[in-house]
């Protein structure tokens, strides 16, 4: 037997997701096993297991005509050899609890337990997924040791071929826990692994969030109950009076069939049943389709979040994403008549804020004049910072204006920029008269107007300013679904102190 090489050595081989490469990859792993001290019989077991499993994994992960890569990483460990198979294809169908119930897509992968001593199937969110295989050397194996994973067949079927064009309208039904696997696959088929809320790639998290009432998922299905779309109503602690319509995906072959509109109608009804006062959505501006659907349901533009869309976002069937960091258009709809609230709009933005309220059909009072400067409170300021890593966004919410607030925000802004947060949002209370005279001071720091979010704070409407610490796509790349949305984009562009080159 060859003397084993030192442990902790790692090598990697990347191959196309093409079954013709499986034998070469299996031979590579078997040769690394020789360095780990395995005899010819064990190397043959490793080779045969991978030669069978790799084509099965490729077939599961990537649909017909879809290109992708698969990485085979081999690590020499004290117990023997660890092999990790990674790809960014369809997520695994793990429906069980996160405590460790394992799953695999088909029998060819389940048969790996005949070749390896430890096996794990993992969904990694934006990182894709991986299969971890461990083979023990005989002298390292523990007598009577059981394999780490007792594999169970997944309830989900193999990846389905592309769906045919819909013959009629789809229907919408509520979420059931057994749907979680197909939701993850539907998001993947639309966005790959580029969707910002990575919980949608973890079936067990989808189930837990729905069970806790933090998310209300709805599904678009065919007459045969095949899932072709998903959308969710999400509730956030920062704005408890309203809900967010998001995670809207429809598989490419079922777009333009009215599925997204039906999903939106279903969730608006659910929001009313929950007693919410309004809903909002953040629509991409790479295309106008989702904006137009929201507009048809009564949502109107109220803010533009510049640079919030990662350039890695890929829309299958709609071409590539933005050339740089793209923008998101925020749209809002009142579900109940809004209570009249005083609005202390900064003088510079009074007309645009009034136009936004008018487009929303709000009966709010017209913007009031700013209070005198001496009205600023002498108490200590209060604010919260919420960091959202998936968007590389820092959100500063000012709860109480106080002495030294501008200096505090200047310091926090510098720290966040040094930490390489791409986008910093500053949220002010439009019903607080002390916010108005400070808006210009914050704009002197580099913040600029993003828009408003009605009921966006527990205690009133939100004025949102934004600071950009990253290059992004030009404003000319922004596509809008209504004349007023285009007007809002032009206004934000005019406010931007450092607009990107067109």
Q: What's 35-72 look like in SS3? A: HCCCCHHHHHHHHHHHHHHHHHHHHHHCCCCCCCEEEE
pLDDT value for 258: 85
Task: Give the percent of the chain with pLDDT over 90.
Answer: 47
d(CA 331, CA 359) in angstroms, rounded, equals 11
d(CA 69, CA 17) in angstroms, rounded, equals 5
Q: Is the pLDDT of residue 1 over 70?
A: no
Confidence of residue 156 (pLDDT cuts 50, 70, 90): very low
Confidence of residue 30 (pLDDT cuts 50, 70, 90): very high
Nearest to 29 by CA among 68, 59, 73, 69: 73
Q: How far is CA 393 from the centre of its chain?
A: 13
Residue 91, classed as helix, strand or coil, is coil
The phi and psi torsions of 307 (rounded to 5 degrees) equal: 75, 15
pLDDT value for 141: 36
115-124, 416-425, 444-453, range with the lowest pLDDT? 115-124
Q: Is the pLDDT of residue 147 over 60?
A: no
Mean of pLDDT over the chain? 82
Model pLDDT for residues 287-322, shown as the tens digit of each residue: 888 898 889 999 999 999 999 887 655 555 555 555
Confidence of residue 339 (pLDDT cuts 50, 70, 90): confident
pLDDT value for 389: 80
Q: Note if the pTM is more than 0.85.
A: no
pLDDT value for 235: 92
Q: Is the pLDDT of residue 157 over 80?
A: no
CA-based max dimension of the chain: 87
Cβ–Cβ < 8 Å for 137, 171: no
Q: Is the pLDDT of residue 197 over 80?
A: no
By DSSP bridging, strand 171-174 and strand 118-123 are unpaired
Q: Is the pLDDT of residue 426 over 60?
A: yes
The mean pLDDT value for 38-63 works out to 90
19-28, 158-167, 309-318, range with the lowest pLDDT? 158-167
pLDDT value for 168: 54
d(CA 442, CA 422) in angstroms, rounded, equals 18
Interhelix angle 289-296/259-273, rounded to 10 degrees, is 50
Token pair of 281 as six digits: 């959505």
The mean pLDDT value for 15-27 works out to 93
Token pair of 8 as six digits: 């902790």
Nearest to 7 by CA among 44, 29, 46, 36: 36
pLDDT value for 145: 29
The mean pLDDT value for 127-152 works out to 57
Confidence of residue 146 (pLDDT cuts 50, 70, 90): very low
pLDDT value for 436: 81
pLDDT value for 99: 35
19 CB-contact burial (10 Å; exposed 0-12 / middle 13-18 / buried 19+) = middle
Model pLDDT for residues 51-88, shown as the tens digit of each residue: 988 998 998 888 887 889 999 999 887 778 999 999 99
Model pLDDT for residues 354-412, shown as the tens digit of each residue: 999 999 988 655 566 555 554 445 578 889 999 888 788 999 999 988 889 999 999 99
């Amino acid at each position: 037997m060859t003397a084993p090489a030192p442990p902790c050595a790692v090598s990697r081989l990347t191959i196309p997701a093409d079954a013709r490469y499986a034998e070469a990859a299996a031979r590579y792993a078997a040769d690394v096993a020789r360095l780990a001290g395995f005899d010819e019989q064990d190397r043959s077991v490793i080779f045969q297991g991978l030669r069978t499993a790799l084509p099965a994994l490729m077939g599961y992960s990537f649909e017909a005509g879809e290109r992708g890569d698969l990485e085979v990483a081999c690590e020499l460990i004290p117990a023997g050899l660890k092999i990790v198979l990674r790809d960014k294809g369809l997520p695994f169908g793990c429906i069980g609890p996160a405590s460790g119930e394992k799953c695999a897509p088909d029998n060819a992968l389940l048969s790996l337990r005949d070749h390896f001593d430890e096996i794990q199937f993992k969904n990694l969110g934006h990182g894709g997924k991986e299969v971890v295989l461990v083979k023990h050397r005989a002298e390292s194996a523990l007598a009577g040791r059981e394999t780490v994973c007792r594999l169970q067949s997944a309830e989900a079927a193999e990846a389905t071929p592309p769906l045919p064009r819909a013959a009629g309208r789809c229907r919408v039904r509520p979420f059931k826990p057994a749907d979680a696997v197909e939701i993850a696959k539907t998001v993947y088929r639309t966005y790959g692994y580029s969707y910002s809320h990575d919980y949608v790639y973890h079936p067990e998290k989808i189930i837990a969030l729905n069970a806790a009432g933090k998310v209300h998922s709805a599904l678009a299905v065919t007459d045969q109950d095949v899932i072709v779309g998903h959308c969710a109503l999400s509730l956030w602690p920062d704005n408890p009076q309203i809900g967010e319509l998001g995670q809207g995906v429809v598989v490419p072959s079922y777009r333009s069939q009215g599925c997204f509109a039906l999903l939106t109608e279903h969730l608006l009804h659910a929001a009313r049943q929950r007693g919410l006062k309004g809903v909002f959505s953040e629509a991409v501006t790479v295309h106008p389709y989702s904006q137009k659907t929201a507009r048809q349901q009564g949502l109107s533009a109220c803010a533009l979040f510049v640079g919030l869309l990662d350039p890695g976002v890929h829309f299958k069937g709609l071409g590539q994403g933005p050339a740089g960091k793209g923008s998101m258009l925020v749209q809002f709809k009142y579900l109940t008549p809004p209570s009249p609230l005083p609005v202390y709009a900064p003088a510079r933005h009074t007309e645009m804020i009034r136009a936004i309220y008018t487009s929303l059909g709000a009966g709010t009072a017209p913007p009031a004049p700013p209070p005198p400067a001496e009205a600023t409170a002498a108490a200590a300021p209060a604010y919260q910072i919420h960091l959202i890593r998936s968007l590389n966004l820092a959100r500063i919410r000012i709860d109480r204006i106080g002495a030294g607030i501008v200096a505090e925000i200047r310091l926090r802004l510098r720290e966040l920029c040094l930490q390489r947060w791409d986008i910093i949002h500053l949220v002010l209370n439009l019903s607080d008269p002390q916010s108005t005279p400070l808006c210009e001071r914050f704009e002197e720091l580099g913040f600029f107007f993003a828009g408003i979010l009605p009921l966006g704070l527990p205690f009133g409407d939100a004025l949102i300013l934004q600071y950009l610490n990253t290059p992004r796509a030009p404003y000319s790349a922004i596509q809008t679904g209504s004349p007023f949305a285009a007007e809002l984009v032009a206004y934000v562009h005019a406010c931007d102190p450092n607009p990107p080159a067109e």
